[in-house]
């Protein structure tokens, strides 16, 4: 295995290892941001979003839905297109991402509670002001993050880029 590929794969962490490294970063006074998603077919919209997310803190942790978790969401029946290890490796290869942590649940709430990020981020189709957990634009974990002084932010999309849109063009 190449040394660089080995280094990339070392950014894919278990929950326990992510908590350890998050603790080290906190002791170093580094601000930690967290975002999540399926990241099925990585595209310009994802890269732009993740780079902007990384700009909000010193470190960026990305929670990524496992294959089982993706199947629980309202996605097409053939999703995910790429298996979780492939998706996690591609994410970990991005220089703006410091760690990738997989989660099996339908939402990343437990992972957010586990890691206690300083900044919680989602795309602009969500609202940082939404407080109703039943609302479609509610950011899961936002209420929890705000209880300890963390911030919740949204990031604008790059127009014309979505996995669903890209898949639709192929038909």
Q: Are 98 and 61 in contact (CB under 8 A)?
A: yes
pLDDT tens for each residue of 97-130 = 999 999 999 999 999 999 999 999 999 999 999 9
User: Which domains are seen in the chain, by residue range?
Assistant: 3-169 (3.40.50.620)
Give CA–CA dist 49/37, Å, rounded: 11
Q: Within a 13 Å sphere around the CA of 83, how many CA atoms are in the beta-carbon half? A: 1
Q: Taking residues 49-67, report their average pLDDT.
A: 97
pLDDT tens for each residue of 63-75 = 999 999 999 887 7
119 three-state secondary structure: strand
Stated pTM of the model: 0.92
Q: Are 54 and 60 in contact (CB under 8 A)?
A: yes
- Strand locations in 66-117, DSSP E? 99-103
Q: Phi and psi of 33, rounded to 5°?
A: -105, 155
């Amino acid at each position: 295995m190449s040394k660089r590929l080995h280094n990339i794969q070392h950014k894919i962490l278990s929950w326990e290892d992510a908590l350890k490294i998050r603790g080290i970063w906190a002791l170093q006074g580094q601000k930690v941001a967290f975002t999540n998603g399926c990241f099925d077919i990585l595209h310009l919209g994802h890269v732009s979003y993740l780079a902007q997310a990384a700009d909000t803190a010193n470190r960026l942790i990305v929670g990524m839905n496992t294959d089982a978790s993706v199947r629980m969401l309202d996605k097409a029946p053939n999703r995910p297109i790429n298996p979780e290890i492939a998706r996690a490796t591609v994410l970990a290869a991005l220089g703006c991402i410091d760690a990738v942590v997989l989660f099996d649940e339908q939402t990343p709430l437990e992972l957010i509670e586990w890691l206690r990020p300083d900044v919680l981020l989602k795309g602009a189709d969500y609202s940082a002001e939404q407080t109703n957990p039943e609302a479609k634009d509610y950011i899961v974990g936002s209420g929890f993050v705000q209880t300890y002084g963390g911030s919740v932010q949204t990031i604008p999309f790059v127009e014309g880029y979505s996995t669903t849109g890209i898949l639709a063009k192929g038909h």
